[in-house]
Amino acid sequence: MSRRARARRGRRSPCAARRAGARHAALRAARRAVRDFRRRRRRSVAVLADRGAARLRASVPPRAPGARPSGSRRHDRVLGERRGERGRPAERVSSVLGGDAAPQPYARRAGDGRALRTRPSDVQRGRARLARACVPAPPGGRRAGRRRVVRRRARPRGGGSSGGAGAGGRGARGGGALDRRRPGARSRDVSDAPSSAPARVAVETGGAARSALDAAPQVSIVVPSWNGRALLAESLPAIAALDYPRDRAEVLVFDNGSTDGSVAWLRATWPAVRVLESPVNVGFAAACDRAAAAAAGELVAFVNNDLRLAPDWLTQMTQALVASGAAAAGSRILDWEGRRYDFDGGTMNFYGHGATPRHGRPVRAPTPAANAAAPRPALFACGAAMLVDRARFLASGGFDPDYFAYFEDVDLGWRLWLEGERVLFVPAALAYHRHHGSGLDADRRTALLEANALASVVKNYDDANLARVLPAALMLLEARARLAPGERAAVYRDTLARFLDALPALRAKRAAVQARRRRPDHEIVPLFGEPLRPSFFGRAYWREQVRLVRAFGIAAMFADSEGTGTDDVSDGRMDEFIDELQGRIEELESALAAARREVDEGRAENGRLAAEIARLREELRRMAAAAERTRR
């Protein structure tokens, strides 16, 4: 460039100088704006309770001795804190969350149990997350309509903001939607701002998803156990794996005087489980009653110790119970391998014996309609896996403690319907049962079934129907005693004697139950399903039952019930068919008994042969040893 050109360039006009100065000023302003923005984005996130209420300060667990502070405290100061009271990192968040979540160095918990988590990377990306930590709610409970608002004044760079669910094991809650606010804009409550305001950053925790989780009722899961340490080792992990929010559930094990070290094992292996102890075995019914009285939940789930729950079992049950307003609900139960039905809805005959029609049948491949099966009314819920409203369960008297075990669920369901309540069967909720894993022998089970069925009949029928049913029920019990093989007959006769001794106490119970009656019998008996289902196989027993049904006019009780078969019995149309069917069953039972005897005899013979072989081997060994000594 020539000397003249350089001279001309050095002489700028006033207009060019002003333009250059403006460019330099704009660059300086941009640099200041960037610095200001970086300062502002480190400002605290405000967590507000109700509008107009004071700011909440988050309380966090103290830092472990010797632990170094993590990161700058500017990232997670709460509005209203003094600089000397900045939060410390919550190294023990994993213990609060039940041990399933990794420690969150920036986790903070507000006074009502909500955890605010803001990490530097989240702030840089313009995200604020409100995570629900699994900690108990405050004693006063959550107030309806309370909302948590997270505000930021700086507008981060990049695309649209997003909301995320906080970390923390089962029971963690989502944070909701996240809006933006332009830099320097004035904060205002989300409830006052129009929905289209683009310059708002807020986490609205009252959304539909959050409301549904907050509405999850508190549930107490009760597991009665007697010498069931091995069974609990399989059932408790399944309960721990439920997808229900952890902070909304508790587990209680009622130990019925176990002698296998169950209590010590529970306290060492499952410290989070509440253990209630009884020095003696009070039975399933009384154990459930006592545990329900001690439970903290508004709903109580009764679960056998020989039962494994599907992960969504409690969610399905609570949704059905809450949506319907029923007092109790029962689930579908399969065998331990899930191949056969154990309980698929209950029925009852007119003399109080409950049954499940598809028990033992193979589970077929479900159809789409079966998968979508809705809860339906049922006379009772199986006590092995049922959910009850605690207040209504206790108000009705709970399980009758004199039942000890068996048919206490039938009696409870019958009484609830009688009192104007409802009971549901929830086929979508699945459980798996190791049948009769509780250890009672066959004679003991038979005695309990017979006595408890008679007690239910006495307590729950109205006066007119009781006058028809009770004589027939007693005569059928005598028929079972007469037709039972061998020593089994004594079990039935002993049950009849004990029933006569307990009759005065049953009259008092009947008076209390009938005083709470809100529904007549003709609205309840259609729920029986199979009122004429025999409780004892054989042609002779079926003929005796038909004769008594006709003699006492029992079929008239079910005249308005469809599909019960009472009309066919009353006019004799099904007599020949059922008589033949019972005869075939009798023949099959005889053949099965003969086959079992042959198998037992074969096993005994095999045992004798094995003992003889062992004796000969021992004798041969001695002879060989003697011969060896002789050669030496």
Higher pLDDT, 572 or 157: 572
Spatial separation of the C-alpha atoms in residues 94 and 134, rounded to whole Å: 10
Residue 573 is predicted with a pLDDT of: 53
Residue 347's pLDDT band (boundaries 50, 70, 90)?
Answer: very high
Spatial separation of the C-alpha atoms in residues 408 and 421, rounded to whole Å: 17
Phi and psi angles of residue 567, each rounded to the nearest 5 degrees, phi first = -65, -40
Whether 164 maps to a domain, the answer reads yes
| Tens digits of residue pLDDT in 152-170 | 444 444 333 333 333 333 3
Spatial separation of the C-alpha atoms in residues 527 and 417, rounded to whole Å: 10
CA atoms within 13 A on the CB side of 203: 32
Average pLDDT over residues 560-578: 58
Residue 305's pLDDT band (boundaries 50, 70, 90)?
Answer: very high
On whether the CB atoms of residues 429 and 313 are closer than 8 A, the answer is: yes
Whether 188 maps to a domain, the answer reads yes
Residue 386 is predicted with a pLDDT of: 97
Proportion of the chain above pLDDT 90, given as a percent: 45
Residue 250 is predicted with a pLDDT of: 96
CA atoms within 13 A on the CB side of 439: 13
Query: What is the residue-averaged pLDDT of the chain?
Result: 74
- Same-domain check for residues 76 and 115: yes
Tokens of 582: 């019972």
Give how far the C-alpha of residue 186 lies from the chain's centroid of Cα atoms, to the nearest Å: 47
Examine the pLDDT at 26 and tell me if it is beyond 60: yes
Spatial separation of the C-alpha atoms in residues 565 and 531, rounded to whole Å: 8
Tokens of 624: 């060989």
Higher pLDDT, 519 or 68: 519
Average pLDDT over residues 513-517: 97
DSSP state string for 286-313? HHHHHHHHH--SSEEEEE-TTEEE-TTH
Residue 1's pLDDT band (boundaries 50, 70, 90)?
Answer: low
Proportion of the chain above pLDDT 70, given as a percent: 64
- Same-domain check for residues 376 and 275: yes
- Same-domain check for residues 102 and 152: yes
Spatial separation of the C-alpha atoms in residues 566 and 384, rounded to whole Å: 30
How many residues are listed for the chain in this entry?
A: 632
Residue 24 is predicted with a pLDDT of: 77
Residue 107 is predicted with a pLDDT of: 39
Residue that is last in its domain, among 412, 440, 468: 440
Global model pTM greater than 0.75: no
Examine the pLDDT at 109 and tell me if it is beyond 70: no
Burial class of residue 419, CB neighbours in 10 A (0-12, 13-18, 19+): middle
| Tens digits of residue pLDDT in 258-280 | 999 999 999 999 999 999 999 99
Spatial separation of the C-alpha atoms in residues 265 and 271, rounded to whole Å: 10
Examine the pLDDT at 129 and tell me if it is beyond 90: no
Residue 193's pLDDT band (boundaries 50, 70, 90)?
Answer: very low
| Tens digits of residue pLDDT in 604-613 | 888 888 888 9
- Same-domain check for residues 322 and 429: yes
Residue that is last in its domain, among 388, 407, 440: 440
Residue 72 is predicted with a pLDDT of: 41
If one counts every other C-beta atom within 10 angstroms of the C-beta of residue 572, the result is: 10
Whether 553 maps to a domain, the answer reads no
Whether 208 maps to a domain, the answer reads no
Residue 41 is predicted with a pLDDT of: 62
Residue with tokens 């545990």: 291
User: How many structural domains compose the chain?
Assistant: 2
- Same-domain check for residues 251 and 383: yes
Residue 506's pLDDT band (boundaries 50, 70, 90)?
Answer: very high
Whether 595 maps to a domain, the answer reads no
Residue 282's pLDDT band (boundaries 50, 70, 90)?
Answer: very high
On whether the CB atoms of residues 517 and 419 are closer than 8 A, the answer is: yes
Examine the pLDDT at 244 and tell me if it is beyond 50: yes
DSSP state string for 176-228? --B----TTPPP--TTTS-TT-SS---B-TTSHHHHHHHTPPPEEEEEEESS-
Examine the pLDDT at 190 and tell me if it is beyond 70: no
| Tens digits of residue pLDDT in 306-319 | 999 999 999 999 99
Examine the pLDDT at 218 and tell me if it is beyond 90: yes
- Same-domain check for residues 168 and 97: yes
Whether 52 maps to a domain, the answer reads yes
Residue 560 is predicted with a pLDDT of: 72
What ranges in 111-184 are assigned the alpha helix state H?
A: 120-124
Whether 186 maps to a domain, the answer reads yes
- Same-domain check for residues 255 and 180: no
Single-letter amino acid, residue 349: N
Spatial separation of the C-alpha atoms in residues 110 and 39, rounded to whole Å: 25
Spatial separation of the C-alpha atoms in residues 550 and 45, rounded to whole Å: 79
Average pLDDT over residues 106-118: 39
Tokens of 529: 């399903």
Q: What angle (nearest 5°) sits at the alpha carbon of residue 151, between those of residues 150 and 157?
A: 115
Residue 539 is predicted with a pLDDT of: 82
On whether the CB atoms of residues 218 and 298 are closer than 8 A, the answer is: yes
- Same-domain check for residues 279 and 184: no
Q: Can you give the CATH number for the domain in which 402 is found?
A: 3.90.550.10
Dihedral, CA of residue 468, residue 473, residue 478 and residue 481, to nearest 10: 160
- Same-domain check for residues 298 and 354: yes
Provide the domain limits for residue 413: 216-440
DSSP annotation of 333 reads E
Spatial separation of the C-alpha atoms in residues 488 and 88, rounded to whole Å: 71
Average pLDDT over residues 375-383: 96
- Same-domain check for residues 119 and 246: no
Tokens of 566: 């009472």
Higher pLDDT, 72 or 173: 72
| Tens digits of residue pLDDT in 524-540 | 999 999 999 999 888 88
- Residue 561: which of 518, 520, 527 has the closest Cα? 527
Q: Give the three-state DSSP class for 132.
A: strand
| Tens digits of residue pLDDT in 31-59 | 888 888 777 665 533 333 333 333 333 33
Residue 80 is predicted with a pLDDT of: 36
Spatial separation of the C-alpha atoms in residues 383 and 342, rounded to whole Å: 13
On whether the CB atoms of residues 220 and 250 are closer than 8 A, the answer is: yes
Residue 552's pLDDT band (boundaries 50, 70, 90)?
Answer: very high
Average pLDDT over residues 388-403: 96
- Same-domain check for residues 160 and 251: no
What ranges in 13-88 are assigned the alpha helix state H?
A: 14-40
- State the pairing for strand pair 219-225/249-256: parallel
Tokens of 213: 């989780």
- Residue 231: which of 406, 442, 434 has the closest Cα? 434
Residue 186 is predicted with a pLDDT of: 37
Examine the pLDDT at 491 and tell me if it is beyond 70: yes
- Same-domain check for residues 316 and 351: yes
Residue that is last in its domain, among 440, 462, 496: 440
Examine the pLDDT at 559 and tell me if it is beyond 90: no
158: left (phi > 0), else alpha (psi -120 to 50), else beta? left
Residue 116's pLDDT band (boundaries 50, 70, 90)?
Answer: very low
Dihedral (CA of 323, 325, 326, 328) sign: positive
Examine the pLDDT at 130 and tell me if it is beyond 60: no
Whether 222 maps to a domain, the answer reads yes
On whether the CB atoms of residues 384 and 301 are closer than 8 A, the answer is: no
Residue 175 is predicted with a pLDDT of: 35
DSSP state string for 523-582? HHGGGGS-TT--SS-SHHHHHHHHHHHHHTTGGGGGTT-TTS-HHHHHTTTTHHHHHHHH
Examine the pLDDT at 449 and tell me if it is beyond 70: yes
Phi and psi angles of residue 530, each rounded to the nearest 5 degrees, phi first = -135, 70
